[in-house]
Amino acid sequence: MMEPTGMKWSEYVKMKDDPDIYLKHMCYDKVNSFFKNQSKTRVWMETENPGLGGVTPIDMIAMGRYQKLMDFIENCLEGNRP
């Protein structure tokens, strides 16, 4: 698995390959900005989250619910309750 690359949203959109990979990296980057530790970020992304209905963030991306996930992440980073 590749690690987050620090790409911006506009760069992700331009990619022609599998968009799920780039969306996953975008979410990793956002969460990693909080934890500042890739191991903790990976654990958070792979753990079922009750705030997401008991689904892992990676599964949210696979289901095409990345916008809900990004909204959830941004609310958490801003200190808002989901």
- Rounded Cα distance between 34 and 4, Å, is 14
Q: Say how many domains are in the chain.
A: 1
Instruction: Report mean pLDDT in 10-residue bins for the chain, 82 residues.
Output: 52 62 81 89 92 91 86 86 64
Residue 51 lies in a domain: yes
Residue 82 lies in a domain: no
49: β partners: 55
Residue 1 lies in a domain: no
Residue 4 lies in a domain: no
- Rounded Cα distance between 64 and 66, Å, is 6
Residue 39 lies in a domain: yes
Please give the pLDDT value at position 80: 79
Domain region containing 59: 9-77
Please give the pLDDT value at position 43: 93
Q: Is the pTM of this model over 0.75?
A: no
Residue 55 lies in a domain: yes
